[in-house]
Amino acid sequence: MRIRVVGAGVMGRGIAQWAVTAGHTVELGDTRRESVEEAVGFVRGMLDRAAEKGRLGRAEADGAAARLVPLDAPDVPGEEVELVIEAVLEDLAVKTELFRRLEEVLPPAAVLATNTSSLPVTLIAAGLRQPERLIGLHFFNPVPLMKVAEVIPGARTRPGLAEWLAGTVRASGHAAVTVADTPGFLVNHAGRGLVTEALALLEERVAPVEAVDRIARDVLGLRMGPFELMDLTGLDVTAKVVDTIWEGFRYSERLRPSFLTPNRVAAGLHGRKTGEGFYRYGPEAPEPAPEPPVTGDARRAVRITGTGPDARALRAALTADGAEVLPEGGDAPDALVLVPVWGTGVARAVAELGLPRGRSFGLDPLSVDRPRRVLSVTPAADPVAARDARAVLAAGGHTVTAVRDTAGSVAQRLLSSIVSVAASVAERGLARPADIDTAVTAGLGYPHGPLAWGDRVGADRLLELQSALLDATGDPRHRPTRWVADRARLGLALTDPGTGPETAYG
């Protein structure tokens, strides 16, 4: 089809490259003719590079370049245009005025799509004479590599348009997910689970920035830790998105922002673009701090509490590492006590089980068979015993990060929040479960979709975790969603959309 892309900045040129590569003819317009010329040169250069690297045939790249049509202005008449994709300044007045002009010069059948990342589609459409023509089509940067787009119908978008647009996107090589017109749409909303919980862990001084990032990468398998991610995106951008989504969902506790961000934003600690954020960047930046050496006694005897699967897995892993693990039910006067904690803290186990407070430590079950194990240390721990516990857990080639004792430890809290926010999206019917997982894996690079990730843990086990977190902290941010609770009780997967009441009507 013939597509008009309005806005020749980073997003507009990326969308243009995607569309011409998929075989569409693309008109590219901007208020600045110089920007159009620069964008055309950029896209043609990217197509040439793709041909040189063998990702496109030479004839295919030349054909795509020939389908790129520069315009003198964004609102010139175009009788053959079937779809407009707007990618201009994220400003309501600017977008609305542009679409008003396009309404007048394009055929009535032409679909108007906005690439807004934060403005309500319905609000933009409200200023148009034909609001039913407008729909959201949100791509991610860089568009040719981030192979997913959100399709967002507004309150007045005509029926069938979302299905048509999603089909067009899929036929052009990207995944398409249909999302309700709500704050943050899908990917930005789902992404709040990781960063808000990471900031909460920092608020509580559970672990420093570097430790949280290392645990996120080495235990959960994320490509980047949450603080690395915020530095890459820019804390000023992240903070604005967090606040907008929290306010848009009427101050939901699950999405509550951190008190840490406003001062850091005001101080210019935005991340890579300012040279300093949670880390420092540039030629003067220090090298990453090395892992502290292991100084304890790895030969010290270990007693493992509990008889459940977590205790059995820990017992087997430490035995394989060559540790002296006491028989089940055994004890020794100076033995370390390791508690596999799930949603609770070591201090609670010390009190409830009468454990020796100086020699008792927690171990996150999620980290048992991972490259990095996570050791929880209470305020009453003996320092020598803490060093010995780290040495025992490091045997077999593992790296061990020690964190402050807290309900759920670090990895459990991050994972619980990721799944919980996604489950809240599903519970509200803002997107289908399959679309949630598709969008998050493609848009955020998680190793699993959040609902599928929850299924790997198990809905019943996840409910146990979240209920324990809520009980231990009293913080409503940990309240289990109905989506998780019902599926755990009914034996359904979190990815299962379930049966709706409409089926009762035949």
Burial class (CB in 10 A: 0-12, 13-18, 19+), 208: middle
**What is the Cα–Cα distance from 505 to 100, expressed in whole angstroms?**
43
Which is the catalytic residue, given 115, 117, 367, 409?
117
Average pLDDT score over residue span 72-97:
96
Which is the catalytic residue, given 86, 115, 188, 376?
188
What CATH number is attached to the domain comprising 374? 3.40.50.720
Let me know whether 15 and 152 are in one domain: yes
For 379-418, give one letter per residue: b (16+ CB within 10 A) or e.
eebeeebbbbbbbbbbbeebbbbbbbbbbbbbbbbbbbbb
**What is the Cα–Cα distance from 400 to 390, expressed in whole angstroms?**
6
Quote the domain boundaries for residue 339: 302-405
Which is the catalytic residue, given 27, 150, 197, 228?
150
Q: Does 232 map to a domain? A: no
Of 330 and 344, the structure prediction assigns the larger pLDDT to 344
Q: Does 112 map to a domain? A: yes
Burial class (CB in 10 A: 0-12, 13-18, 19+), 2: middle
Let me know whether 317 and 168 are in one domain: no
**What is the Cα–Cα distance from 398 to 291, expressed in whole angstroms?**
12
Let me know whether 18 and 151 are in one domain: yes
Contact 341, 308 (CB under 8 A): no
On the CB side of 48, CA atoms within 13 Å amount to 6
What are the angstrom distances between the C-alpha of 208 and each of 72, 204, 212? 53, 10, 6
263 is catalytic: no
DSSP one-letter string for 97-143? HHHHHHHHHS-TT-EEEE--SSS-HHHHHTTSS-GGGEEEEEE-SST
What pLDDT is stored for residue 506 in this prediction?
Answer: 81
* Two tokens, residue 328: 């089940």
Which pLDDT tens digit goes with each residue over 85-108?
999 999 999 999 999 999 999 999
Average pLDDT score over residue span 215-219:
98
Domain boundary among 383, 405, 427: 405
Q: Does 104 map to a domain? A: yes
**What is the Cα–Cα distance from 136 to 90, expressed in whole angstroms?**
13
Burial class (CB in 10 A: 0-12, 13-18, 19+), 225: buried
Closest among 434, 428, 444, 443 to 150, alpha carbons compared: 443
Domain boundary among 145, 178, 211: 178
Let me know whether 311 and 171 are in one domain: no
Q: Does 24 map to a domain? A: yes
DSSP one-letter string for 226-287? HHHHHHHH-HHHHHHHHHHHHHHTTS-GGGPPPTTHHHHHHTT--BGGGTBSSSB-STTPPP
409 is catalytic: no
On the CB side of 331, CA atoms within 13 Å amount to 7
Which is the catalytic residue, given 138, 189, 398, 478?
138
**What is the Cα–Cα distance from 374 to 391, expressed in whole angstroms?**
12
Average pLDDT score over residue span 200-225:
97
Which pLDDT tens digit goes with each residue over 420-476?
999 999 999 999 999 999 999 999 999 999 999 999 999 999 999 999 999 999 999
167 pLDDT exceeds 90?
Answer: yes
328 pLDDT exceeds 90?
Answer: no
Q: Does 23 map to a domain? A: yes
Let me know whether 168 and 311 are in one domain: no
Average pLDDT score over residue span 223-227:
97
Q: Does 211 map to a domain? A: no
Q: Does 441 map to a domain? A: no
Let me know whether 174 and 306 are in one domain: no
The total of other beta-carbon atoms located within 10 Å of residue 71's CB is 18
DSSP one-letter string for 171-198? HTTSEEEE--S-TTTTHHHHTHHHHHHH
**What is the Cα–Cα distance from 88 to 66, expressed in whole angstroms?**
24
495 pLDDT exceeds 90?
Answer: yes
* Two tokens, residue 377: 């240390």
Q: How confident is the model at residue 48 (pLDDT cuts 50, 70, 90)?
A: very high
Residue 144: what residue type?
Answer: P
Helix (H) or strand (E) holding 385: helix 383-394
Q: How confident is the model at residue 288 (pLDDT cuts 50, 70, 90)?
A: confident
Average pLDDT score over residue span 350-367:
97
Average pLDDT score over residue span 473-498:
97
329 pLDDT exceeds 90?
Answer: no
Domain boundary among 127, 153, 178: 178
Burial class (CB in 10 A: 0-12, 13-18, 19+), 272: middle
Q: Does 382 map to a domain? A: yes
Q: How confident is the model at residue 150 (pLDDT cuts 50, 70, 90)?
A: very high
> Cα-flanking dihedrals φ and ψ of residue 363, to 5°?
-135, 125
Mean pLDDT in the chain?
97
360 is catalytic: no
29 pLDDT exceeds 90?
Answer: yes
138 is catalytic: yes
Q: How confident is the model at residue 331 (pLDDT cuts 50, 70, 90)?
A: confident
DSSP one-letter string for 436-455? HHHHHHHHH--SS-HHHHHH
Which pLDDT tens digit goes with each residue over 370-417?
999 999 999 999 999 999 999 999 999 999 999 999 999 999 999 999
The dihedral built from the CA positions of residue 38, 44, 50 and 51, taken in this order, carries a sign that is negative
The total of other beta-carbon atoms located within 10 Å of residue 312's CB is 14
Indicate the number of domains in the chain: 2
- Cα end-to-end distance, the chain, whole Å: 40
Average pLDDT score over residue span 199-225:
97
Closest among 86, 81, 55 to 69, alpha carbons compared: 81
Three-state DSSP at 151 gives strand
